[in-house]
Chain A
Amino acid sequence: MKTKDKLIRLWAYGSMAAVLAIIAFLFLYVFARGYKTVSWEFLTKAPAGAVLGMEGGIFPAIMGSLAFTLTAVVIGGIPAVAAAVFVVFYCKSKVVGTVIKMIIECIAGIPSIVLGLFSYSLFVRDLQWGRCILSASMALGIMVLPFIEVRAEKAFRELPPSMIASSYALGCSRFYTVSRIVLPACRGELVSGIILGACYAMGATAPMIFTGAVAFAKVPTGLLQPAMALPLHLYLLIAQGATSLDTAFGTAFVMMALILISNILATLYARRRSSQWTRS
């Protein structure tokens, strides 16, 4: 019994160490290979060179990625939070609740390239929006919707039921209760869920390659323009082969740094919010 216990412990600690080591290695590797390329110029210039991207920077791709991500989070986040509010506070019928849950799980299961195809045929072709930030963000928004919904719903369900009941017992409506108690009380979880959703959208390539991301464009000034995006730029740099590998690692470095920083900020924000309000 004792040796069995020890073995299980060893296995658990070993796996944990292996996972941590792999993650650390991956980050260090990308950072080590990328950091030489990353300079002020790299961050603020447009790509250039005989083979595009070999020289110059990635500024339009950073701005493009931010535009895609922000638009996607707005498009996906608002219905996601609304759906979570509906399911937890408004929906009285079990059947409706189950159906909504199923639909959301289905959306979560759609391969992102299929979302790209859908958005391409509906928004780019049929509605003639063309390849633009909005078309791509529709696909990205649908992709992050279940991601944010699940987190919002979890936060809502973890609120003490007697707190919500107290508001109803004062005679206040559901709408007042949701807008004045539920949303403010869950602000930390909601903001961090949305930031994590944004990270997820920022890393996705498939939904945007036919629908809005292009190999080269200026910094976008409107939602109906195509734009560059970091993941697609990275893909193209790798596809071009050895000559662009340095800038590829530089791009990967910037992407990972952005996502890492956002993740840390999201975690800190959620933690600060919750420590502010809980006892002691």
Chain B
Amino acid sequence: MDQIIKIQQLSASYDGKPALKNITAEIPENRITAIIGPSGCGKSTLLRAINGLLWQEAGAAVSGSVLLCGTDTKTISPEELRRRIGLVFQTPSPFPFSIYKNLTYGPLYFGHPTKAQLQARAEEVLKATGLYEEVKNDMKKSALKLSGGQQQRLCIARALTVDPQVLLLDEPCSALDVKNTQIIEELLLQMKKDRTVVIVTHNIAQAQRIADKVLFLYEGSLLEEGSAEELFACPRHEKTKEFLSGRIG
């Protein structure tokens, strides 16, 4: 099992207040890695570190490095890095255009695809996210008219249009109902055949259902990491036990 991302001694602070403390971790290729921990522990910050956004934030002081396939991400151009590492946010945030235009936005930026290629790409990602049957007849409809769950799946589809190696998701299901959550979990499980998935989740059961590897963050530190079975079955750290039993968080 190859490690596609290596995080090395990563620390970050906002105005002197540490948000990430000396984190070293690895993310396996073509697996689902879940990042769990109480809110405010630095999960979103860690995701932003992985796709390079953190280095560009005005108030953030960052040290350490993140390697993507062995290359320090600081030496990759920000655009290239973000194309290779997609990010989906907590609140569904489709662009205020048609469904189709949401899906051609990225590809048109990165090249000069033909109409047929654009259409094929859009259909492919819609199928991958299980949206195709639901929207195939009104691709010209405003994406904002979709339901919340459909919007979130469209955002995942949109992230896939530029063919990232890694897909980061920041609590993608926290605004969704059980049914949509289930659909998204299934599509993530499908997706790990040819992509690496990193999901931040507040939902321990969700991490248990889909994750291969789990990172537990607590107050900016990586307290525990391990395979999902191990970590959930016998957490080593006292704080992990408390978090898993629902006493903190």
- A residues apposed to B, CB below 8 Å: 92, 160, 162-163, 165-173, 176, 180-181, 184-185, 276-280
Q: If A162-B91, A166-B155 touch, does A171 touch B53 (CB 8 Å cutoff)?
A: no
Shortest Cβ distance from B77 into A: residue:
A171
Would you call A170 and B142 a contact (CB within 8 A)? no
- Interface residues of chain A: helix, strand, loop or mixed (majority): helix
Shortest Cβ gap from A162 to chain B (Å): 4
The contact sample of 10 A-B pairs, CB cut-off 8 A, is: A160-B91, A162-B90, A166-B88, A166-B158, A167-B95, A167-B105, A170-B158, A171-B80, A171-B81, A171-B106
Kindly identify which residue among A162, A172, A277 contacts B144, using a CB–CB cutoff of 8 Å: A277
**Distance A165 CA – B80 CA, assembled complex (angstroms):** 16
Q: If A276-B142, A277-B96 touch, does A170 touch B105 (CB 8 Å cutoff)?
A: yes
Shortest Cβ gap from A59 to chain B (Å): 42
Would you call A163 and B95 a contact (CB within 8 A)? yes
Q: If A185-B96, A276-B142, A279-B144 touch, does A169 touch B109 (CB 8 Å cutoff)?
A: no
Q: Which residues of A contact B31 (CB under 8 A)?
A: none
| Tally of contacts, chain A with chain B, CB under 8 A | 76
Shortest Cβ gap from B73 to chain A (Å): 13
**Which of A92, A166, A173, A277 has the largest number of chain B CB atoms within 10 A?**
A166
Would you call A172 and B93 a contact (CB within 8 A)? no
Would you call B89 and A279 a contact (CB within 8 A)? no
Would you call A170 and B91 a contact (CB within 8 A)? no
Q: Which residues of A contact B106 (CB under 8 A)?
A: 170-172
Q: Which residues of A contact B140 (CB under 8 A)?
A: none
**Which of B58, B86, B105 has the largest number of chain A CB atoms within 10 A?**
B105
Q: Which residues of A contact B90 (CB under 8 A)?
A: 162
Query: Per-residue 0/1 for B63-97: is the Cβ within 8 Å of any A Cβ (1 yes, 0 no)?
Result: 00000000000000011111100111111011111
Q: Which residues of A contact B93 (CB under 8 A)?
A: 160, 162-163, 165-166
Shortest Cβ distance from B151 into A: residue:
A279
- B residues apposed to A, CB below 8 Å: 51, 53, 58, 78-83, 86-91, 93-97, 105-106, 109-110, 142, 144-145, 155, 158-159, 161-162
Kindly identify which residue among A166, A170, A277 contacts B109, using a CB–CB cutoff of 8 Å: A170
Would you call B145 and A170 a contact (CB within 8 A)? no
**Distance A279 CA – B96 CA, assembled complex (angstroms):** 10
Q: Which residues of B contact A176 (CB under 8 A)?
A: 109
Q: Which residues of A contact B155 (CB under 8 A)?
A: 166
Kindly identify which residue among B79, B89, B145 contacts A172, using a CB–CB cutoff of 8 Å: B79
Q: Which residues of B contact A181 (CB under 8 A)?
A: 95-96, 105
Shortest Cβ distance from B79 into A: residue:
A171
Q: If A162-B89, A162-B93, A185-B96 touch, does A169 touch B105 (CB 8 Å cutoff)?
A: no
Would you call B83 and A171 a contact (CB within 8 A)? yes
* 8 smallest beta-carbon distances between A and B, as pairs: A171-B83, A171-B82, A162-B93, A169-B87, A163-B93, A277-B96, A171-B79, A162-B89
Q: Which residues of B contact A184 (CB under 8 A)?
A: 96-97
**Distance A176 CA – B95 CA, assembled complex (angstroms):** 13
Shortest Cβ gap from A177 to chain B (Å): 9
Would you call B82 and A170 a contact (CB within 8 A)? yes
Q: Which residues of A contact B51 (CB under 8 A)?
A: 169
Would you call B145 and A279 a contact (CB within 8 A)? yes
Shortest Cβ gap from B105 to chain A (Å): 7
Q: If A176-B109, A277-B142, A277-B144 touch, does A170 touch B96 (CB 8 Å cutoff)?
A: no
**Distance A171 CA – B105 CA, assembled complex (angstroms):** 11
**Distance A169 CA – B106 CA, assembled complex (angstroms):** 10
Shortest Cβ gap from A263 to chain B (Å): 25
**Distance A92 CA – B60 CA, assembled complex (angstroms):** 13
Shortest Cβ distance from A159 into B: residue:
B96
Shortest Cβ gap from B199 to chain A (Å): 15
Given contacts A277-B144, A278-B144, 17 further A-B contacts (CB under 8 A): A163-B93, A163-B95, A163-B96, A166-B87, A166-B88, A166-B89, A168-B82, A169-B51, A170-B82, A170-B159, A171-B81, A171-B110, A172-B105, A172-B106, A172-B109, A181-B95, A184-B97
